[in-house]
Structure 1
Amino acid sequence: MDLMKWPIFSLLEPEFVCKIKMACVYGNLGNEAVVVTKSDEVFAIGSNAAGCLGLGDLQSTLYPKKVEALCNKNVKGFAYGSGPHVIAFTETGEVYSWGHNGYCELGNGSSNQCLFPTPIGANLSGKEVIEVACGSHHSLALTKDGEVYGWGQNNCGQVGSGLSTNQGVPRKVNSHIGTKRAISIACGQTSSMAVLENGEVYGWGYNGNGQLGLGNNVNQMNPCRVPNFQGIVITKVVCGYAHTMALSDVGALYVWGANSYGQLGNGNRSTVTSPIHVASEIGRIIDVAATHYNHISAAMTQNSKVYMWGQCRGQNVTSPTETPFTSLHDVFACFATPSVMWKPMEVDADAGEKVTDSLKLAFDDPSSSDLTITVSGTPIHVHKAVLKIRCQHFRSMFQDHWEEDSRSVLEMDQFSYQVYRAFLQYLYTDEVNLPPESALELLDLANAYCETQLKRRCEQIIKQGITVENAVVLYSTAIAYEAKELEEFCFKFSLNHMTAIIETEGFTSLDEQIVKGFIRKAAKFGAFKS
């Protein structure tokens, strides 16, 4: 998964990105983020609404700043609410909170905004928290012993205390669950869900859209078991804004709740108050994703295909739609509104080199090359297979009945060394690194080899790199290579800067015939009318 798919990270230096091992994007516009580095440092970036970056102030930042209170704490995960407020837990099970606190969602016994990550001690001291979840303004924590604790806004019973008053500190959710162990928790905007180790599912809080799966629209102050799962073992539940998805141990997907945007994936947009089985046609599902910030759903199948449905960038998609993505995170980066993460994204430190990186390193590497192309006596080491894959010209050249296919050295003299090397490097990297003057010769090569994409790239380099100093040189070169469209572009640019261009060294060194043609053409456009 590429972090750069998230706009908030677009200004990060590549060196810094390489150090990241976990990231979480949140905020009402997807404009806040916190990252953990491989050296166990924590940084935050973004607009800092309600002090949710944990930097000790309310100042926004375009570049990452260190969150001192969380550095060297071995942070394992984050959850966030709509305030926004943020909850973090560490390797040892400690819990920290910061940000908006108008509904006691930080669990520190007050309702005052907190600008620094602060440990939550009350009732969690001595407990090892292994998972946290947040709704809009309430929070849940799951301990290693399978206990669930809730705190924050409780107007709909989402804390599970049996009351409707806000809960200032963590309180164990006991009613109806009793001594049964929970293995997973999730929050909608104002609802809560828990999965027990025996596969049962419990829900509590707001139920106006049937998101608790109880077959009605009645809010619940205490956890209630979701019916209709007899003989079915649920292993995971995720919540959207007002819908819920549950995944069974055999890869079956069940959904219920709000469906105005098609987020249930059952082919229509009608609310469902009890669990229904959907998406059986896409095969066994191994993971599902949703977040209380939006109305989008995603799933990954056993054969690693990623599907999405719901509110996808303003479109209402009512059935699972296959994507070209390889990660559930891609769905939320590209199609969710706002573009926030459904859970913290772990960056694989041992992923190794990408194919593109390996290809870049292979270019002009004599140790692995099976073909040497010489231009003006200078060798360039390449690989026949790569050239055949990337270029039709070479696919035609390297055939059994052609002499070139059996040779290990080829001489090229049609183009300059600099340009031909740039062309071969483009086949390995998809990048062109030439000045505008040389890009015209590369454009001629692209024309000869029928490389349409490369032609567009050359034209872009020339148009974006034209200046008063090089305009007439580009103009005369375009004439030489019969690049009519670029010739016209360079002429019009020169016409708009006529006085300055006539005074350049390039203009005085132009071929006499080109100068005459330029003047005649300029006269037709009225350049010399008084």
Structure 2
Amino acid sequence: MAIDNKNVLWVTGDNRGAVSGLGNKNKNTSFVRVVDQVKAVSVSDSRSMIIKSDNSVWTAGSNGFGELGIGNAVSNGTFVKVADGAEQIESGSENGFIIKSDHSLWASGFNHYQIFQSLSLADVSDTYQKIADNVKAISAGQAHLLMLKTDGSLWACGQNVDGQLGIGSNTDQRGFMKVMDGVKAIKACSYHSLVIKTDNSLWSTGHNEFGELGIGNSVNQNRFVRVMDGVSAIAGGRFFSMAVKADGTLWASGYNNQTFGITGPDQKNFIKVADNVTAIAAADYHSLMIKNDKTMWATGSNTYGEIGAGSERSLDVFAKVKLP
């Protein structure tokens, strides 16, 4: 999904979960216009969420278990309003999250890792419930969560078999546990985690079979390890990581089967892949970047048309993608 400079939302790719907001489950290989007046978007396999210009939150998806936060209503695949006063949204595989203007965190969906203290592990919250205060950011991985509080403290919960929580063990964590202080940005990838600390240093933990932590080896870590300095933005896919430095250079590490725009083997250290980059995003096996001139570029797997280049041909280097 992409938002253009006129706040129009566009979508491409797989839509079996009815997440496009178009009211169908059709796959698209080129970007299709969805809705206007959108200022933020977050999408996963199970749901999409948008913030409109009036700060209202809308969601789309299948709602087979009531996980969308619209009650037990049958979803028709179009966007349904669920909240007002939002500052940030995050669409996870099991939950939707909203941070409101008062920094309260609200969630809907499954409770496998006890984020809803009033519910049992088997329950599903089919409406949005407040679960925390003083929250600055939330990021959802495959089955783990990172939460950044307004005081710069990092909290985590969920699956931890690969050490992705960074708590010094590989034990799953029910409910949020404090990890460390001095954090300014977070990214929970599928099985690993990335954070930027207040001194702009990048730290990583978790799964590292393909070198996605960028620390020069392929050994999993269960505590955050310092990687490099001068980082301003982070993103990551299933087994790779990306970082933009303050000078606009884009760096990547990990699994490299067309995932981050250069040909060659997997990378155990971060390697420079582009210049003049202002924003990045990544999913399982593809990546997107926006350059200084406002152009959008994509690379990686394109089996479902997720790159939006008009075909299902995958790309092993970045190519410019235009919205209609």
Task: State the TM-score, normalizing by the size of structure 1.
Answer: 0.51
| CA apart distance, 1:259 | 1.2
The AA in structure 1 aligned to 2:271 is I
Aligned twin of 1:428: none
Partner SS state of residue 142, structure 1: strand
The AA in structure 2 aligned to 1:254 is W
Partner SS state of residue 102, structure 2: coil
Question: Using the alignment, how far apart are the partners of 2:233 and 2:149 within structure 1?
Answer: 16
Distance 1:321 1:65, change over 3 A: closer
Matches within 5 A, 1:108-507: 108=117, 110-112=120-122, 113-121=124-132, 125=133, 128-174=134-180, 179=181, 181-226=182-227, 229=228, 232-260=229-257, 262-268=258-264, 270-279=265-274, 283-291=275-283, 294-312=284-302, 313=305, 314-325=312-323
The AA in structure 2 aligned to 1:54 is G
Aligned twin of 1:77: 88
2:115 paired with 1:106: yes
Question: Using the alignment, how far apart are the partners of 2:48 and 2:285 within structure 1?
Answer: 21
Q: Which has the larger Rg?
A: 1
Q: Relative contact order (C-alpha < 8 Å, sep 6+): which is higher?
A: 2
| CA apart distance, 1:202 | 0.8
Partner SS state of residue 9, structure 1: coil
The AA in structure 1 aligned to 2:187 is A
The AA in structure 2 aligned to 1:267 is T
Decide whether the 8 Å contact of 1:50 with 1:58 is kept in 2: no
| CA apart distance, 1:20 | 5.1
| CA apart distance, 1:168 | 1.4
| CA apart distance, 1:34 | 3.2
Distance 1:56 1:205, change over 3 A: same
Decide whether the 8 Å contact of 1:4 with 1:10 is kept in 2: no
Cα RMSD over matched residues? Answer: 2.6
Aligned twin of 1:94: 104
| CA apart distance, 1:137 | 0.9
Distance 1:284 1:38, change over 3 A: closer
Aligned twin of 1:51: 66
Decide whether the 8 Å contact of 1:296 with 1:310 is kept in 2: yes
| CA apart distance, 1:26 | 2.9
| CA apart distance, 1:51 | 2.4
Task: State the TM-score, normalizing by the size of structure 2.
Answer: 0.81
Decide whether the 8 Å contact of 1:108 with 1:168 is kept in 2: no
| CA apart distance, 1:101 | 3.0
Partner SS state of residue 275, structure 1: strand
Aligned twin of 1:363: none
The AA in structure 1 aligned to 2:267 is V
Distance 1:105 1:276, change over 3 A: farther
Q: Of Structure 1 and Structure 2, which has the larger fraction of its residues in helix?
A: 1
Aligned twin of 1:469: none
The AA in structure 2 aligned to 1:133 is S
Question: Using the alignment, how far apart are the partners of 1:318 and 1:63 within structure 2?
Answer: 33
Distance 1:62 1:266, change over 3 A: closer
Partner SS state of residue 314, structure 2: strand
Partner SS state of residue 77, structure 2: strand
Question: Using the alignment, how far apart are the partners of 2:107 and 2:260 within structure 1?
Answer: 32
Question: Using the alignment, how far apart are the partners of 1:26 and 1:141 within structure 2?
Answer: 18
| CA apart distance, 1:235 | 1.0
Decide whether the 8 Å contact of 2:9 with 2:36 is kept in 1: no
Q: Of Structure 1 and Structure 2, which has the larger fraction of its residues in strand?
A: 2
Distance 1:158 1:58, change over 3 A: farther
| Equivalent residue pairs, number | 293
Percent identity between matched residues is 23
| CA apart distance, 1:108 | 3.6
The AA in structure 2 aligned to 1:222 is R
Decide whether the 8 Å contact of 2:51 with 2:89 is kept in 1: no
Structure 1: runs of 5 or more not aligned: 331-530
Q: Deviations along 1:105-127, whole A, 9 cap, x unmatched? A: 73648523322222214xxx4xx
Q: Deviations along 1:277-320, whole A, 9 cap, x unmatched? A: 112xxx421111113xx211111222222221111335332222
Question: Using the alignment, how far apart are the partners of 1:252 and 1:55 within structure 2?
Answer: 41
Question: Using the alignment, how far apart are the partners of 1:140 and 1:220 within structure 2?
Answer: 16
| CA apart distance, 1:321 | 1.5
